[in-house]
Structure 1
Amino acid sequence: MTQDYSAKWWVAFICIIFIEAVLLILLISRQATPLLYVAIIAIAFLLFLIPQLDEVIALTFDRGKLDSKINSIGKKISTTKARTDKLVLLSMSKSMFETLKKLAAGSFGVYEMSDALERELYHLKDIGYVEVGRIRDIPYKDNNLCDYVKLTDFGKQYIELRRSIEEDNKG
């Protein structure tokens, strides 16, 4: 990024260089004092600050622009959060989520292995939300599917995340 420095900054820069040179000559020609060292360091520090002075002044006087940028970033974050929340909600059908919640409760209850339930279990297993040996080995009918299918930590985290998103959307 190139910057156009005004004449006043160049004049100040040249004056500081001149003062620095005089102080260095004094240092070389006389007995050095701690105050001389401090002056040389302070002036050298100013030499590095002058090019950034415009930016510091602009930041100080343009708070409205800074507030505007912060608001713009806040809106982008809100939009991104809304999209992410929607993505989480749309990533799993309501019936599959209900199946996952029943498995999380530990008491799925009486079930009959329908094609839909079998597809849901395969999908939940593939994405890592449940652990099950072989789905085909699960009895066709039984009292509790939780005896054969266990929820993983990822499955628990998904349930917590989705519930928090649903609660946020209600409020």
Structure 2
Amino acid sequence: MDKIKIGSVWLGGCSGCHMSFLDLDERLLELAEVAEIMSSPITDWKLHTPVKEYQNYPEVDISLVEGAVTNTDNVEVLKIVRERSKIVVAFGDCAVTGNIPSYRNLFKVDDVLNTVYVENATHGKQIPSDEVVIPKLLKKVVPISHVIKVDYYLPGCPPPADSIWYTIKCLLEGKQPEFTKEHYRYG
């Protein structure tokens, strides 16, 4: 039997969901028996960088998407991931609701850029103009469901390892995860 193919991506977030995934500990060995991690920032750091690195995102059965949609690169990555995934899971509160990154919505994008790159800079006080350096920020940070169809939502900041394991096991067995209050963690 072929192994289930899993991928994961990290958009506008802190990487806490991926760290919680690593907290599966010895269950990662159990997962490795039935699934293969095809693409992930856990296994390849450059996958947290420009959209061009995602052009080779493989066809997978399940994609876990961490983080909110904050910039134009995030939008393009999401489209690639959705196109190449049978199932997409919004992985953590940032992907599900926008969470902490969406606090940026309280301010104008130009004000945010000015505060970061001019007012608080220690040298080179100018906003980068090259989108290779910083992708164009969206006017509003949004959850991933505002850009692509999401099949399942795994909330938590970060989701507990037990909830991640429960979700993955259900999906591997062809079942729909049904969450109870024990599956949630609010950060």
* TM score, norm. by length of structure 1: 0.22
Structure with max Cα Rg = 1
More helix per residue: 1 or 2? 1
* TM score, norm. by length of structure 2: 0.20
Instruction: Select the structure with the greater relative contact order (CA < 8 A; seq sep ≥ 6).
Output: 2
More strand per residue: 1 or 2? 2
